[in-house]
Structure 1
Amino acid sequence: MRSWRFLVSRRWVGFALVVALLAAGAWWLGEWQFSRLEERQLRNDVIQRNEAAPPAPVAEVVPADGELDAEDEWRTVTATGTYAAEETVIVRYRTRDGASGVEVVVPLVLDDGTAVLVDRGWLATDNRAATPDIAPRPPAGEVSITGWARRDSSGESTVVSDRSTRAISSEAIGEALDRDVLDGFVALRTEDPAPDEDLARTELPELDDGPHFFYGLQWWFFGLLALFGFGYLAWDERRGPRTRRSQRAEHAPVDREHHAAHE
């Protein structure tokens, strides 16, 4: 049987480095999945707590000169005002059950002149041909709403062009409409009076843990498998070809006897 000196050869050192990188990458990806699991569980706790809380006026949850706190997202809020229907903004590329469509966002002007953006729901339509004018009209006059407080999106997808965007940002939409709006937006649940044509309402996200736990275990398993595979190959290399041939020779008579017994 050979010594372990072959492990310091260039080929085996390079092989060991590749396996170490693979194992470290698998470990990091497993840790990332478990961190995603923790984030999802914290989000679920916030949603469940806020869903159980009594509705609050939107001005109490979102101060006029402040931001919507992450702990208040998905809190049920109420507001009364008048829709600025001529300032409707559509959010493109929102798919539901495989169908293309848009979200319809309309400013609700409050008594003090400020406005809160209201995502009135989803409309099935071809994204390329969609314009704000195709959206059903909201109720006219004073309207009372309830909905979930939602935080703004960020990044390049929030750019507004021709009253169209790919993600909702109160700052970007407010600037495009030249209107003072509260931070975040409200995902509509109810309107009073009811509109002539309803849109598909926003639903609460799934409150399960998702696949992150099992994905994390899978990545850790792959890392351990890489280490085990390296150890086995090194052990097999140390045995050497003579040991492997002798072991095969020892089993050969038994195999021939077994074959002859069945003839």
Structure 2
Amino acid sequence: MGSYRFLLSRRWVTFGVVVVLLSAFAWWLGEWQFGRLDERRSDNRVTETNEARPVTPVEQVLSPGRDADPDDEWRRVEATGTYDAAKTVIVRYRSDDDGQPGVAVVVPLVTDDGTALVVDRGFWAIADRSPDTTDVPPAPAGEVTVVGWVRVDGTGDSTEVTPDLYTRAISSEQIGRAIDRPVFGGFVDAISENGEPVPDLAPQELPELDNGPHFFYGLQWWFFGVLAVFGFGYLAYDERKRGPRGERPHRGGRGPSGPRPPAGPKPKRERRTNVPAEYQRR
């Protein structure tokens, strides 16, 4: 057996630095996944609490010019007003749990003081992804009482509303600007209209209250980091015990650079047969 002095060589120092960096990165990814797990559990507690709360007038939860509080998401609120069907907004590129393409149908509900509540009435499956607003199921006329789940506005470029009232994500601020009307911050996913389910449209599904895959993903990343360190240690032990791999003798006794020993003559195989010698072919 030799010593571990070879670990000071450039090759092994470089190898060690790479292993340390990979292990540190794997550890960080594991910590990130466990952080996501804590966030998920916190969100689940908020959702469970809000789902159990009684229906509340929308004015007590949402207000114009103020973003919806994330701690209020999935609370049930109630609002009464009249749908402005001419300002229906189509949210493109949606799909249901089966992968069926469709759109979300969003209609502003104008309350008595002129402030609109942005209502996602539900999902409508389509054959293509660009329906006209006149194709979707119409909102009911007259005064309507809507009960729905509070949702926080989307962000980013996907919330921009085109002049013909199409978007890819819902933002009350962007929709209010497009329809030129004051709106409550946030929006709601409709549960019922006048005490009945929304006709012809699929309702928004409640979020799954599980912990997701974050725990096992975190363990996997930590395992990869430990495996990298173990692999480094094993290879170092192997080289100390047997020497560098490129300098080890090969099977058959050949040295690292010596020629293969010459092959001797093959032994003659004894011919076995039950045929008498005088009848055998020569």
Task: Answer yes or no: is the 8 Å Cα contact 2:102–2:129 preserved in 1.
Answer: no
SS across alignment from 1:134:
coil
The alpha-carbon deviation at position 131 of structure 1 amounts to 2.4
Q: 1:206-226: per-residue Cα shift (whole Å, max 9, x none)?
A: 001011101110110011001
129-138 or 29-38: bigger deviation: 129-138
Q: 1:45-75: per-residue Cα shift (whole Å, max 9, x none)?
A: 0000001111101110012342211111110
SS across alignment from 1:31:
helix
Count how many residue pairs are aligned between Structure 1 and Structure 2: 248
| One-letter amino acid of the structure 2 residue matched with residue 117 of structure 1 | V
Q: Distance in 1 between matches of 2:150 and 2:119?
A: 9
Q: Distance in 2 between matches of 1:208 and 1:6?
A: 50
1:71 is matched with 71
Query: CA separation of 1:39/1:195 partners in 2, compared to 1, >3 Å: closer, same or farther?
Result: closer
Query: CA separation of 1:104/1:59 partners in 2, compared to 1, >3 Å: closer, same or farther?
Result: same
Match of 1:207 among 206, 209, 232: 209
| One-letter amino acid of the structure 1 residue matched with residue 175 of structure 2 | I
Q: Distance in 1 between matches of 2:193 and 2:62?
A: 20
Q: Distance in 2 between matches of 1:208 and 1:178?
A: 40
Runs of 5+ consecutive residues of structure 2 not aligned to the other structure: 253-282
The alpha-carbon deviation at position 42 of structure 1 amounts to 0.5
Q: Distance in 1 between matches of 2:119 and 2:137?
A: 14
Task: Answer yes or no: is the 8 Å Cα contact 2:83–2:144 preserved in 1.
Answer: yes
Q: 1:149-196: per-residue Cα shift (whole Å, max 9, x none)?
A: 000010111111121111001111111111111111010000017588
1:186-205 equivalence runs, <5 A: 186-192=188-194, 194=196, 197-205=199-207
2:28 is matched with 28
Task: Answer yes or no: is the 8 Å Cα contact 2:63–2:184 preserved in 1.
Answer: yes
SS across alignment from 1:11:
helix
Q: 1:206-253: per-residue Cα shift (whole Å, max 9, x none)?
A: 0010111011101100110011001100111111349xx89x99xxxx
1:154 is matched with 155
2:263 is matched with none
**Does 2:183 match 1:184?**
no
1:21-60 equivalence runs, <5 A: 21-60=21-60
- Identical counterparts, % of pairs: 60
2:19 is matched with 19
The alpha-carbon deviation at position 27 of structure 1 amounts to 0.7
186-195 or 159-168: bigger deviation: 186-195
Give the root-mean-square deviation of aligned CA atoms: 2.2
Task: Answer yes or no: is the 8 Å Cα contact 1:89–1:105 preserved in 2.
Answer: yes
| One-letter amino acid of the structure 2 residue matched with residue 163 of structure 1 | L
**Does 2:120 match 1:119?**
yes
The alpha-carbon deviation at position 36 of structure 1 amounts to 0.8
TM-score by length of 1: 0.89
Runs of 5+ consecutive residues of structure 1 not aligned to the other structure: 250-263
Structure with greater proportional helix content: 1
Larger radius of gyration between Structure 1 and Structure 2: 2
Q: Distance in 2 between matches of 1:194 and 1:39?
A: 35
Query: CA separation of 1:139/1:195 partners in 2, compared to 1, >3 Å: closer, same or farther?
Result: farther
